Chains A and B, each alone.
Chain A
Amino acid sequence: MTVAVRSEALAQVEGVAFAYPLPDGRRRDVLRSVDLSLARGDLVALVGTNGSGKTTLLRLLTGLLRPDAGVVRFEGRPVAAWRRVDLARRVAVLPQQLDLPVGFRVAELVGMGRAPHARRLFASTEADERAVARALVDAGALELADRFAEELSGGERQRLLVAMALAQEPDLLLLDEPTLHLDLAHQVALLGAIRRLRGQRGLTVLAVLHDLNLAAAFAPRVAILDEGRVVADGPPAEVLTPDLVRRVFGVHVDEARTPDGRRHLALREV
């Protein structure tokens, strides 16, 4: 079955099912039938309960996992048909957690983001050095360039990871809970930077987020993953309704308005 490729779609997930094999031979279904299409320039927040398959979906998008059924496409071509290195030039990931090797300076680590673009056996090119400089500037990490990665605070570390991903000069940026471990100020700063960069660099962004209000403030489009499917996909006001939040998360929230008319969700009780 072939699906007509819409030219504006950068990445498409079509009827994707995925189950992790368990040691006893059974399989744990995570995704049953997921459909999600990312147009160029989209900014989408992906929400859902723990274990709903958000990270799995990102891994399918980067080809780290292969779907059991359905197909994941990047620029119309199945991800499985892409060469690893070609895909890495177009898709970058800010992982949920990353072991940073000890003893490297920030600029060197950001330089690793240039690996898929490497042209010479030992030397880096001028294009590499320019891309690294620009990534550091854009991620607000320029003053960290000479610091050792193991000496960074949580917020600085996250800026380093953003810079590494930007150094790849991707079209599609996948963020897996980028605000984890960050205080409120750093959460706002990071997501603000991502929004700004999306405009500057023409990025398409898919971000896994947990805080529903943060997701609504951050992205013009929110998708909810539940029971292995995308159960809602659209503007936050239509998607993040008290009704759906109760169905998906089992938590009672009220829709409230700030004095200036912005909508937000308030927990009824803890």
Chain B
Amino acid sequence: MRATATAPATTQALRIGPSLTRVTVVLGGGAILLGTAMVVAVAIGSVGVGLGDTVAILGHRLLGLPLARSVAPGAESIIFDVRLPRVLTAMLVGGGLGLAGTVFQALLRNPMADPYIIGTAAGASLGAIAGLMAPILVPALAIGLGSTWLGLGLVQVLAFAGGLGTVLLVYAVSRANGRVPVVTLLLTGYAVSSVLAAGVALLMFFSGQHLGAIFGWLMGSLAAAKWINLAFAAPLLAISAALLVVRWRGLNLLLLGDGPAANLGLNVEREKLALTMLATLATSTVVAISGTIGFVGLVVPHVLRLAIGPDHRLLLPASVLYGAALLAVADLGARVAGGIPVGIVTALIGAPFFIWLLRRSRLVRPVVTQ
């Protein structure tokens, strides 16, 4: 007497993943939102360029379409050389932070987690500030390697290496008996971050008139966005994002805990290492070109989990799209507000919004119960 359930009525109710409609609405909607945010953000600025002209210029320069209409002189250069790299940088940074935040919240099973939590921010900050200060403290560097390396500034290179190197160190220190317990990882990350933060404070203390530049970097700013930085960041982000998005199953399983995930066939320690390193690669890359922009990586995963559920199959690609759109809009706000660092905008608007969300609903939930 074998129980079978193949009746169409039941199988329909038993879909185990998101429906095609749902995927289309969430990801298609995100793509449309992102495209709109991009065009609007490129069009608005101190010199206004009409939306029609903006679309025409973007189509001409990016897609090779003939420039059918005559646009204002200089508009093409403003759009293409100044605003577009900045808006694209904002999108890359927002997408990277949204994605890395989603990964770390699931991996560490901690709703407080953000992309910086296990030391990326502290390491990248120390690297960047060392890069800012090196030519000042050691003048010879200003003419030598201080200028560029593969076209990138010393600041970017040291921030990238600092973020990645710190997490490698934290991970190695947390390892015991071939395992990396999540709590040890969090606490080690906190401790190492504290040491590095002391280094940052020391450099700031001796920075004299350069404190403003350091502070701007720490708050996170996209004012220095350049095509060359994009050429460095885009491939690294594309690779890490692709390799993270296909790991959705592993992230879902890790929410059950290490033991149950292993019993479901996951090679737990290898998966955790891969996820940590890929998310750190994405974080270090965006931090190198933007500084430590706060709140995006914390809020985007929470809001999306509320809106579309916790299944990483949909959550990971959505966090890229919506994180990118969010930061493009936030940076537009920063420019309109007179060029303040975008990190101020995300904290100023993001934090109260997050509190409102917390107050409003049962929906901001811990990542796991019991």
Asked if A and B are interacting partners, one says yes
Cβ of A115 and Cβ of B266 under 8 Å apart? yes
Contacts of A103 in B (CB 8 A): 305, 309-310, 365
> Are B3 and A134 neighbours in the complex by a CB distance under 8 Å?
yes
A110 within 8 A of B: yes
Residue of B nearest to A199 (CB): B1
A50 within 8 A of B: no
0/1 interface trace, chain B 168-179, chain A, CB 8 Å (1 if under): 000000000100
Q: Does B186 contact A (CB under 8 A)?
A: no
- Residue A88, interface by CB 8 Å: yes
Query: Chain B contacts of A270 at CB under 8 A?
Result: none
Within 8 Å CB of A122, what residues of B?
A: 248, 313
Given contacts A64-B263, A111-B16, A115-B249, could you give 16 more A-B pairs where the C-beta distance is less than 8 Å?
A: A59-B259, A85-B266, A88-B264, A98-B256, A99-B109, A99-B255, A99-B256, A101-B256, A104-B310, A113-B264, A132-B16, A133-B6, A133-B14, A136-B5, A168-B264, A200-B2
CB distance from A61 to the nearest CB of B (A): 10
When the two chains form their complex, are residues A114 and B16 in contact, meaning their CB atoms are under 8 A apart? yes
Is A87 part of the binding interface, using a Cβ–Cβ cutoff of 8 Å?
yes
Question: Which A residues, 34 to 73, have Cβ-Cβ distances below 8 Å to chain B?
Answer: 59, 62-64
From B4, B17, B263, B266, contact of A93 by CB (8 A): B263
Contacts A84-B262, A84-B267, A116-B264 given; indicate if A102 touches B6 (C-beta within 8 A).
no
B246: which A residues are within 8 A, CB to CB?
121
Evaluate contact between A129 and B16: CB separation under 8 angstroms.
yes
- Which residues of A, 109-156, contact B by the 8 Å Cβ criterion? 110-116, 118, 121-124, 128-130, 132-134, 136-138, 142, 145-146, 149-150
When distances are taken between beta carbons in the complex, the residues of chain B under 8 Å from A186 are: none
In angstroms, Cα B109 to Cα A145, docked, is 24
User: At the interface, yes or no: B29 with Cβ under 8 Å from chain A?
Assistant: no
Q: From known contacts A21-B177, A133-B5, infer whether A97 and B370 are also in contact, taking CB-CB under 8 Å.
A: yes
Main secondary structure of the interface of B (DSSP, over half): loop
Give A127 Cβ to nearest chain B Cβ, in Å: 12
Residues from chain B with Cβ under 8 Å of A121 in the complex: 246
Could you say which residues of chain B place their CB within 8 Å of the CB of A145?
13-14
Assembly CA distance A219 to B152 (angstroms) = 70
| Interface size range on B against A | 35 or more
Asked if B262 and A64 make an inter-chain contact with CB atoms under 8 angstroms apart, the answer reads: yes
Q: In the complex, are the beta carbons of A98 and B257 less than 8 A apart? A: yes
CB–CB A84/B266 < 8 A = yes
State the Cβ distance, A214 to closest chain B Cβ, in Å.
Answer: 24
Cβ contacts under 8 Å, B5 to chain A: 130, 133-134, 136-137, 142
B81, CB-defined interface residue at 8 Å = no
Residues of A within 8 A of B260 (CB): 93, 95, 98
Residues in chain A near residue B311, CB distance under 8 A: 104, 108
Complex CA distance for A239 and B63, rounded to whole angstroms: 80
Closest to B263 in A: A93
- Residue in B closest to A146 when the chains form the complex, CB atoms: B13
Measured in the bound complex, the distance between the Cα atoms of B264 and A168 in whole Å is 8
Q: Determine the chain A residues whose CB is within 8 A of the CB of B248 once the complex forms.
A: 122
For the complex formed, measure the closest distance between the CB of B187 and the CB atoms of chain A, giving whole angstroms: 16
Judged by a CB distance under 8 angstroms, whether A100 is at the interface is: yes
Question: Would you give 21 A-B contacts (Cβ < 8 Å), ordered by A?
Answer: A63-B262, A85-B265, A86-B265, A88-B264, A91-B263, A98-B256, A99-B109, A99-B368, A102-B365, A104-B311, A107-B15, A112-B256, A129-B11, A129-B14, A133-B5, A133-B11, A134-B4, A137-B3, A137-B5, A137-B10, A146-B13
Among B254-287, those with CB < 8 Å from A are 255-257, 259-260, 262-267
Are the C-beta atoms of B16 and A124 separated by less than 8 Å? yes
Give A29 to B255 CA distance when docked, in angstroms. 31
Most buried by B among A89, A118, A122, A145: A122
A131 vs B106: C-alpha distance when bound (angstroms): 27
Decide if A136 touches B265 in the complex (CB within 8 Å). no
Considering the chains assembled together, what is the distance between the CA atoms of A87 and B263 in angstroms?
Answer: 8
Partner of B10, one of A113, A114, A133: A133
Provide the bound-state CA to CA distance between A192 and B369, in Å.
28
Answer yes or no: B367 CB below 8 A from chain A CBs: yes
Q: Is the CB of A100 within 8 A of B309?
A: no
B26 CB, nearest partner CB in chain A, Å: 14
Q: How far is the CA of A107 from the CA of B255 in the complex (A)?
A: 16
